[in-house]
Amino acid sequence: MINCSSGFNNRSSYLSFKGAKDINLNYIIKNRAYLLPERMIDVVENVLKTQCSEMPTLLELHKSTYEPLLKCKNLDEAKRLFPEFSDVKQANDVFQRNTGNIKRLAENNFLDEKFSLRVLQGLWAKLQTQDELARTLGLKDRRALGWVLSKIEIKGCGKNYKNLLKSSDEKLNKEIAEKTRVWNASHPDFVEYRNKCAIDALKKPENREASSLRMKKFYEENPQKRKEVSEKSKKYWSDPKNREEQSLRGKNYNKLHPELSKLRSERSKAAWDRIPEMRKVMSSFYSDYVAEDKVLAVRLNNIFMKNSKGEPLSESERKLILKFNKDCMQAHPEIRIALKEAYMAIREEKLNEKLL
Contact criterion met (CB below 8 Å) for 66 and 124? yes
The dihedral over CA atoms of 344, 346, 347, 350, expressed in degrees to the nearest 10, equals: 160
pLDDT of 319 above 50:
yes
Amino acid (one-letter) located at 90: Q
- Write the burial class of residue 281 (CB in 10 Å: 0-12 exposed, 13-18 middle, 19+ buried): middle
pLDDT of 275 above 60:
yes
**pLDDT for the residue numbered 176:** 80
Among left, alpha and beta (phi > 0; psi -120 to 50; other), residue 24 is beta
Percent of the chain with pLDDT over 70: 87
Contact criterion met (CB below 8 Å) for 133 and 119? yes
Where is pLDDT greater, at 211 or 261? 211
Beta-carbon contacts of 31 under 8 Å, excluding residues fewer than 6 positions away, are 21
pLDDT of 301 above 60:
yes
**CA gap 38, 24 in Å, rounded:** 18
The shares of helix, strand and coil residues in the chain, as percent rounded to the nearest 5, are 75, 0, 25
**pLDDT for the residue numbered 19:** 38
Selection from 16-25, 104-113, 116-125, 127-136 with the highest mean pLDDT: 116-125
DSSP class of residue 55 equals P
Distance of CA 311 to the CA centre of its chain: 43
Among left, alpha and beta (phi > 0; psi -120 to 50; other), residue 314 is beta
Please report, for the chain, the start and end positions of each structural domain, with discontinuous segments joined by +.
Answer: 187-238, 258-355
Q: What is the pTM of this model?
A: 0.51
**CA gap 109, 98 in Å, rounded:** 15
**CA gap 59, 49 in Å, rounded:** 18
